[in-house]
Amino acid sequence: MMKKTIVLSALVGMIGFLITFLSNFGHNLLGTSLIRGFYAFVIWFVLACLLRWVLGFIMKPSDSVEPAAPDADSQEGLGNQLDISTPGEDQELIDLLKPKPAEGGGNAEGFQPLQPPKLVSMKDPEELAKAVRHLKEE
The pLDDT value given to residue 124 = 83
Residue 24 in contact with residue 32, Cβ under 8 Å?
A: yes
Could you list the pLDDT tens digit for every one of the 138 residues in the chain? 678 888 999 999 999 999 999 999 888 899 999 999 999 999 999 999 999 989 888 888 766 555 555 555 556 667 777 777 776 777 777 787 887 765 555 555 678 888 877 777 677 888 888 888 999 986
Q: Is the pTM of this model over 0.85?
A: no
What pLDDT sits at residue 63?
60
pLDDT of res. 84: 78
DSSP result, 48-116 = HHHHHHHHHHHHSPPSS--PPPP-SS-STTTTS---------HHHHHHHHSPPPPPTTS-TT------P
Residue 48 pLDDT? 93
Nearest to 41 by CA among 16, 73, 22, 63: 16
